[in-house]
Structure 1
Amino acid sequence: MNWSAQAIRDAARAGDYGRVVKLARIAAGLSQGQLGETCGMSQSAVSRLEGRGASSYETAQLSRVSSRLRIPPHLVGLADHAAAIVARGDANGDDVERRHFLGGVAAVAAAPALSMAATGQAHAARTGQAATLRVATTAFRRLDGTTPSRQLVDTVLSHLKLTQSIAQTAEGEDERTTLAAVGSEVASLAGWLHWDMGDHGSARTWYGASVKTARRAANPLLVAYQLGSLAQFEAHSGNAAQGLSLARSARRQLGPNMPAIADAWLSGVEALAHATAGDADSADQALRTATRRAKNIERESAPPWPWVFSFTEAKVGATRVSCGARLGLPRWIADEQDSAAAVMSSGHEKQRALLQLDMASGHLAAGRLDGAFTMAAQALETGLRYKSGRIVERARAVRRSYSGPTPPKVVRDFDDRLYGVFL
């Protein structure tokens, strides 16, 4: 399906998500009855959804259908819906609402097992469960930006346990491979959350599990994504050689004709690994490749699963900022101020704090102490608010890089805030 087709774009812009579903269903060669059967819905329910026009939609129902058809979430308004819920919880300071949302997503994940078990439609139930579990995983990934990992991790691990229990009772090979792919995504998210908490041992374990499960799913694109995720973790953790080795393994999974987004993202991961190793020339070459390939992303159809977040030239620029911080090259950081500003305007507060700390390193390398530690202090406050071990440790690394004489007041104030922090 060409997700960039004019008809799809027009329907999505108009908010006629039912028409997006209809076009995708026809392209997939499914009748309304067949689509409904695999999603635990009646034919008439699918018909009503497709004919709803530019009006409100039931999110859980739309999520099941769009996941079954592999429709990118932004084309049916799902990403905006999840972001709105999170933003509303943040604006009101309402942790209760966020907990209700987390519980609601878990309930949606479990609902097909309860509602369809009585019908005897076992195959439809299995397929519907896999699709809904994937929707829940995507929702958790989006919540990560505005939710402390310590609040989210238990729910994600319960979600993984549910996915594993369903997979254990799957009857057919197709069902098992589909559920293995879902399990791989959840394990990768568990690795990301433990990384954010500063638990590198558990993070490495979960990332390794996500790679193994992806191999069972027999999906080269998913295997490459999980290998790349582990490579990114190793590069950030200071293990440059391991990061490069894993990135090369990811490339071998995809071959020379990989999607542009995969090539651009992996080139960024390789740049970080080269920067960690102190190799500025190789890092620069990888970043130039990432920029060139990022320009081709919009010319392709929608990014392939499992890339649920966009990857743009601005993100390549932000990666150059991170590389510049590791290499001690303030010029790289200064040259990408506009790109960094674009990424920092996004809703992912924890990622924004990490980028702030990289920019602070640039200010520090250029001798601008006030700017460096003012920015680092802002990032540290975000890390403390979300209890992010990764942010706090990065803040400590910025502080260690300053070794001047008697520290000025801005540094002493930073030390006072950092001293005695235990998460």
Structure 2
Amino acid sequence: MAAALATCDMPAVIEGVRSARGWSQGELAQALTYSQSWVSRVVNGQQSLTVSQVHDLARRLEIPLDLLRFGGAGSPEASGAMRGAGALDGAREPDDVGTRGFGLGAREEPPGTGRNPSRRRDPARSVTMAPSGITGGRPPVGYEGHHGINETTAPALRSITGGQRRMDATSPARHLLPGAVAHVHLAEQMLGNARGTAFHTELSAAASEASGFAAWLSADLGDMGSARMHYRTAVVRARQAGMRLLDVYMLGSLAAFEIDVAEDPELGLGLVREAEHVLGPTAHPTARAWLACVGALAHAGLGDHVSAARSIRRAEREVDSPDNAQPPWPWVFAFDQAKVAGYRALVGVRLRSPHDARAAFAEAVAPAPRNVKQSALLKVELASAHAEAGDVDEAFRLAQEALTTGVRFDSERVVGRVRSFRRRYRGPRAHCVEDLDDRLSSLVTGIPISG
């Protein structure tokens, strides 16, 4: 390793660190936040590196730059490692690592122009010792203080996310989103600074929560692309944190988004199945019940009555478990029969079973949700059930109330759900229908309703 550092043999340095830390090449790629194919080419001597890329790799592996010798006596190894200094830089892919498991493949970076295919790595040269100060993933003494990372960093970031979430109940998403996105960038910066320290796991979790909230706000504003991007990052960071329940929570949240917002129940069901695989059969009942309910929505969206009912029954069994008293983090409230009834109602709406849906909504009645936007979304669902049952006046009264909330909070998600309800309605054109049409038209034209 000393010889590799002295000659800037980056393939040997990277391979030595990987071996010393017991990482697979995929784990190494995650640690470096480059794609695995790019890392493989570097390790095999097939990818030229620019000076800035060497600096970046050294920083991510916590290798002090003063240990690297870029021209050490003009050695062939040094010139080989740095050959092609004019190669394309900026090949890093920070947010696509580890997403293949749910159909989100990593992009390929542009290759360097100075590739040297003749210089392949000899397996016999694998180094099993890391340089002093980076063994076992621990940083050099004083590194944490240098980057301002300590035991208070992750709790501080999480408290900011928590405060933003509380404001979501009473604030428009468009007011919160710029700050939430800035907070994601801050969390990512702190996470990069903490690489190789004892605080990296906690900061990965904090970054995951920050991205998850930014995804929620983006979905509320109807920005599907940004919502998916933030949800993907949230899943990746949860996996890097190695926190199974957080991983499942973010995967399930992405599944719910695809099912309920993007209206792609097939993709959502695939994500639910992956989350169930990650969760395992012995996890906390709250997590199992919640995933079963999200899966029931996916089955209902696909028109599968039998599977939807089976998933709801499984959720009901889980919530009755004596182990379901205290919810596990990151869940805040235990999943109870009232919550399962709410999902049963949503399933009834999607399966066009209005009487079952209305009965389930009545069973799910509880204190009004603190988040008025969530309450508005439920009103639209209940409106759909009333419309299917022929109770037009009540259906459109609920839709009007939901629309008022959507306009008040600039929630494109709520307003869009009301529009969708109106498009699906095929009943008689009563006065209540015309009133809703007038309000929806006014939102588009900006012309106030007369009289």
The question of a shared fold, defined as TM-score above 0.5 by the shorter chain, is answered with yes
Per-residue deviation, 1:346: 2.0
Counterpart for residue 356 of structure 1: 379
Q: Report matched runs for 1:289-300 at 5 Å.
A: 289-296=314-321, 299-300=323-324
Q: Report matched runs for 1:158-169 at 5 Å.
A: 158-169=182-193
Per-residue deviation, 1:200: 1.2
Q: Report matched runs for 1:274-353 at 5 Å.
A: 274-296=299-321, 299-300=323-324, 302-342=326-366, 345-353=368-376
Per-residue deviation, 1:143: 2.2
Per-residue deviation, 1:305: 1.5
- Work out the CA distance in 2 between the residues paired with 1:206 and 1:318: 27
- Work out the CA distance in 1 between the residues paired with 2:406 and 2:155: 33
Counterpart for residue 194 of structure 2: 170
Q: Which of the two has greater helix per residue?
A: 1
Counterpart for residue 443 of structure 2: 421
Counterpart for residue 390 of structure 2: 367
CA contact (8 A) 1:334 1:362 kept: yes
Runs of 4+ off more than 4 Å: 120-125
The CA deviation string for residues 86-127 of structure 1, in whole angstroms up to 9 with x for no partner, is: xxxxxxxxxxxxxxxxxxxxxxxxxxxxxxxxxx97799521
- Work out the CA distance in 2 between the residues paired with 1:132 and 1:295: 36
Q: Is residue 387 from structure 1 mapped to residue 410 from structure 2 by the alignment?
A: yes
The CA deviation string for residues 16-75 of structure 1, in whole angstroms up to 9 with x for no partner, is: xxxxxxxxxxxxxxxxxxxxxxxxxxxxxxxxxxxxxxxxxxxxxxxxxxxxxxxxxxxx
Q: Report matched runs for 1:3-402 at 5 Å.
A: 126-170=150-194, 172-236=196-260, 237-296=262-321, 299-300=323-324, 302-342=326-366, 345-402=368-425
- Work out the CA distance in 1 between the residues paired with 2:308 and 2:216: 24
CA contact (8 A) 2:187 2:206 kept: yes
- Work out the CA distance in 2 between the residues paired with 1:287 and 1:176: 38
* Aligned-partner SS, 1:299: coil
> Relative to 1, partners in 2 of residues 1:198 and 1:123: Cα closer, same or farther, differing over 3 Å?
closer
Letter in 2 for 1:408: A
Per-residue deviation, 1:206: 0.9
The CA deviation string for residues 341-399 of structure 1, in whole angstroms up to 9 with x for no partner, is: 216x1211111111111110011001111010011100110111111111111101111
> Relative to 1, partners in 2 of residues 1:256 and 1:122: Cα closer, same or farther, differing over 3 Å?
farther
- Work out the CA distance in 2 between the residues paired with 1:371 and 1:419: 21
Larger radius of gyration: 2
Letter in 2 for 1:394: R
> Any gaps of 5 or more consecutive residues in structure 2?
1-143, 447-451
Per-residue deviation, 1:300: 4.3
Per-residue deviation, 1:198: 1.1
* Aligned-partner SS, 2:151: helix
Identity of aligned pairs, percent?
Answer: 41
Letter in 2 for 1:129: T
CA contact (8 A) 2:285 2:323 kept: no
The CA deviation string for residues 208-229 of structure 1, in whole angstroms up to 9 with x for no partner, is: 1111111111222211111111
- Work out the CA distance in 2 between the residues paired with 1:154 and 1:148: 12
* Aligned-partner SS, 1:320: helix
TM-score, normalised with respect to structure 2: 0.63
CA contact (8 A) 1:315 1:339 kept: no
Per-residue deviation, 1:420: 4.1
- Work out the CA distance in 2 between the residues paired with 1:351 and 1:310: 18
- Work out the CA distance in 2 between the residues paired with 1:191 and 1:325: 26
CA contact (8 A) 2:255 2:272 kept: yes
CA contact (8 A) 1:340 1:355 kept: no
Deviates more, 1:381-390 or 1:277-286: 277-286
- Work out the CA distance in 2 between the residues paired with 1:155 and 1:215: 25
Deviates more, 1:144-153 or 1:184-193: 144-153
The CA deviation string for residues 118-155 of structure 1, in whole angstroms up to 9 with x for no partner, is: xx977995211101211221222232222111111111
Q: How many residues align?
A: 301
The CA deviation string for residues 232-286 of structure 1, in whole angstroms up to 9 with x for no partner, is: 1111122111111101111111211011111010011001101111112211111
TM-score, normalised with respect to structure 1: 0.68
- Work out the CA distance in 2 between the residues paired with 1:339 and 1:172: 51
CA contact (8 A) 2:286 2:324 kept: no
- Work out the CA distance in 1 between the residues paired with 2:147 and 2:327: 29
- Work out the CA distance in 1 between the residues paired with 2:234 and 2:366: 31
CA contact (8 A) 2:184 2:211 kept: yes
CA contact (8 A) 2:204 2:237 kept: yes
Per-residue deviation, 1:421: 2.3
- Work out the CA distance in 1 between the residues paired with 2:316 and 2:396: 30
